[in-house]
Structure 1
């Protein structure tokens, strides 16, 4: 990474959602590291503070990471951008957490960028921000996206205004590159 790209997000504050358990580790760590290395201030947020256990390939327990702030402690005004990782259990859990869903809704409706990967679009669907939008996700969510009024496409990364979506961990390189570009373009 060049020196200029290391500071391209130095004035950007990013919230990264993390479920207490079941978020896909690489979909959490790679985007988080990408924006951190680009100079962004990053807060890991969830339903409660403390350790959160991630997974690999949805089924294998992996490392634990610290949730620093709760959804109730923060507001959409606190962040320039949001990242929501996948993981079937983690994404399913996040979409049931009303404070997190409301935070995401307010964030997206304010026109701020949200980067969501794999099963993470379940949270976008729950937030009611998919209607009329084009996005991608893990292939099993295509009917959910369509039922919510969105257009689902099979592409490694899709940007529709302030929504950035990707299908799975194989798309992380393109997803992270797009995050850097879109977060820099939407800075306040």
Structure 2
């Protein structure tokens, strides 16, 4: 059975984090929210969330995927976390693991030198700068081996359904799309 961690950093984009958690859990994929620090995590629009776990308590080997929501401040905070960057590097080097990043977070990973020369997408306003590091794709979701990237809040559901397809199967994702009235 797959297990996923969704990292919540102060300033995270709510839709990109919580829509993904919701859809993965509907698919019966074991999903933990993981905070960078103790206490409540505050989103980009001041919604306070209590995460399931702390990054310091996570054993990366227990998970198959790390999901990194965006949000300008949230993505920067993720990029400033050595613990997260180490997990991302470890997972990118392991073909059986996945790294999923959306919005500003793919750009932050590229700036930090963690991803490069891969097909990927990110928030549109960062596309030109992002293209210096990666093969920028104008698509809602891009899968390049074990790296999955997406553009932003409006693509969060499609991003999550793609993760379901990768972790389970297309049929489960199709049924969820239908049941959630996602066209």
Residues 109-134 of structure 1: CA deviation (Å, up to 9, x unaligned) = 11211221101213432563422210
SS in 2 for 1:176: helix
Residues 4-56 of structure 1: CA deviation (Å, up to 9, x unaligned) = xxxxxxx111000110x21011111100111111111122113213211112x
- TM-score when normalising by structure 1: 0.81
- TM-score when normalising by structure 2: 0.83
Structure 2, unaligned stretches of length 5 or more?
Answer: 170-183
Q: Which residue of 2 is the match for residue 115 of structure 1? A: 100
Q: Which residue of 1 is the match for residue 19 of structure 2? A: 30
SS in 2 for 1:131: coil
Q: Which residue of 1 is the match for residue 115 of structure 2? A: 130
Residues 50-80 of structure 1: CA deviation (Å, up to 9, x unaligned) = 211112xxxxx24211123222222321201
Counterparts of 1:16-165 in structure 2 under 5 Å? 16-19=6-9, 21-55=10-44, 61-111=45-95, 112-125=97-110, 128-148=113-133, 150-165=134-149
Residues 133-180 of structure 1: CA deviation (Å, up to 9, x unaligned) = 1000002332443333x1111111111111111111111232122111
Larger strand percent: 1
Instruction: For 2:146 and 2:89, locate their aligned partners in 1 and report how far apart those are by CA, in whole Å.
Output: 12
RMSD of aligned residue pairs (Cα, Å): 1.8
Deviation beyond 4 Å, 4+ runs, structure 1: none
1:157/1:117 CA distance change after superposition, 3 Å: same
SS in 1 for 2:168: helix
